[in-house]
Amino acid sequence: MIKNNNRYSDPRDTSGCGLVGFINRDGKRVDGSHIIKSLCLMKDRGNGLGAGFAAYGIYPDMADYYAIHMMMDDVNVKPNVEQAIVRFFTIHREEEIPTRSTPCIKNPPLFWRYFVEPKKEVMLTGEGDDDVVVRAVMEINNNISGAYVISSGKNMGAFKGVGEPADIADFFGIEDYRAYIWMGHTRFPTNTPGWWGGAHPFTILDWAIVHNGEITSYGTNRAFLEMFGYKCTLLTDTEVVAYALDFLLRQHKLPLRAAFYALASPFWKDIDIDSRENRELSEALKAIRIQYAPLLLNGPFAILFGWKSGLVGFNDRIKLRPLFAGEKDETLYMASEEATIREICAKPDRLWMPRAGEPVIGMIKEGAESWR
């Protein structure tokens, strides 16, 4: 599929992706019309070479199984994919992801979803269910030509492709899904091809990332993550952020803020200043910065990061890409532009410009019934 689409890639294009996401902290689900409406307002931030959505809470009746969203060049690849899937998993349900024929979407790949459970017998010593899923995703992305896992979490899914936000939403019928966390992205490819796999979000397990900017430290980050079995196959810098957060939060069990301080670590001069005010904090920041130096993200970025129990927005340390936040009752919104939030939340209780390097965190409340 990359062969078909990279003719659109123009190295002279300038940057300007648009992102938006919101979370209902009570776990109340809303249909996809809101995220579509807000993302479409930022149509002009992208150029039709990539748009996508991530949604949490969309498969309540299959919530116990990992939902593997597959993107395949054509139906000929499918037997190879299934061979790999049955090696790792027991399949509980499988179906084509419903799509509509849309005039602006040309030559789409085939989308299929499998609801699966990892087989106990494939687990290596010390491995759990999540580890098997990560290993399977890497195996499929790396070794099966023309097939990519688009998402692999429970009760969530990613939907993405080459097109304007409205067209991609129409293609996947996004308005019919109901979710308590929604993320959306419109792409303006700069350094890497505009192809179906390169659209955002990027995911692993139920971690999902949408991103505006450039990760100039991609090479360093990727080399480090490869040592731990993560393989970057989607030809885009953003992919490393999803794997880096899986590594920090799931494998190394870092507290949430600590993980973001590893990725967008304060400058040494600020750590020095903090050390006079709060010695313990500055020692922790120093340790994080040294220990996870290869995961420090360089370059300009605004990133939204979602998982089953939260949504976080964060910026590079000098805020070289826009990020805006708003709040209404139990819903927290974040987006590249204030107008994007106002489009779906006319009278927010609070609106603010988050500070550089300070994550904005929205968490599902304890005990909230996130499947409702």
Partner 1 sequence: MEIDAASVHYRDLNEEINRVIKEGERHLILKNVNGQRYIGAGLQGEDIRIDIYGVPGNDMAVFMDGPTIEVFDNAQDSVGNTMNAGRIYVHGHAGDVCGYGMRGGKLFVRGDAGYRVGIHMKAYMEKVPVLIIGGTAGHFLGEYMSGGTIILLGLERRPGQPLAGDYLGTGMHGGAIFVRGEVDSRRVGKEVGVEKPDDAEYQMLKKELAEFAKVFHLNYDEIMSTPFVKLYPKTHRPYGPLYNSRWFWQRGG
DSSP 8-state secondary structure symbol assigned to residue 337:
S
Min CB(148)–partner 1 separation in Å: 33
Min CB(351)–partner 1 separation in Å: 7
Q: Name every residue whose Cβ is closer than 8 Å to that of residue 106 and which is 6 or more positions away in sequence.
A: none
CA dist 9 to 72, 81, 188, 213, 229, Å?
Answer: 21, 28, 10, 17, 30
Nearer to partner 1 (CB atom), residue 120 or residue 276: 276
Nearer to partner 1 (CB atom), residue 73 or residue 316: 316
The amino acid sitting at 53 is F
Q: Centre a 10 Å sphere on the Cβ of residue 19 and count the other Cβ atoms it contains.
A: 31
Min CB(58)–partner 1 separation in Å: 28
What is the full DSSP assignment across 160-217?
EESS-HHHHHHHHTGGG-EESEEEEEE---SSS---GGGSSPEEETTEEEEEEE--TT
Nearer to partner 1 (CB atom), residue 206 or residue 343: 343
Q: Which segments of 14-74 are extended strands (E)? A: 18-24, 30-31, 51-56, 66-72
CA dist 42 to 16, 19, 331, 343, 350, Å?
Answer: 10, 8, 20, 10, 21
Nearer to partner 1 (CB atom), residue 97 or residue 281: 281
Nearer to partner 1 (CB atom), residue 41 or residue 110: 41
Min CB(213)–partner 1 separation in Å: 13
Q: Under the rule (CB under 8 A), what is the footprint of partner 1?
A: 41-42, 44, 269, 273, 318-319, 322, 324, 337-340, 342-343, 351, 353, 355-356
Unique residue bearing structure tokens 């792409």: 187
User: Considering 17, 40, 232, 345, which one is annotated as catalytic?
Assistant: 17
Rg of the chain on CA atoms, in Å: 20
User: Taken in order 27, 33, 36, 40, is the CA torsion positive or negative?
Assistant: negative
Min CB(198)–partner 1 separation in Å: 25
Active site residue 17: yes
Nearer to partner 1 (CB atom), residue 152 or residue 315: 315
Min CB(340)–partner 1 separation in Å: 7
**b/e code 55-89 from CB counts within 10 Å (16+ = b):** bbbbbeebbebbbbbbbbbeeebbebbeebbeebb
Q: Which two tokens stand for residue 184?
A: 């959306």
- Between CA 311 and CA 315 the distance in angstroms is 14
The amino acid sitting at 296 is L
Nearer to partner 1 (CB atom), residue 246 or residue 337: 337
Min CB(339)–partner 1 separation in Å: 3
User: Which residues are the active-site residues?
Assistant: 17
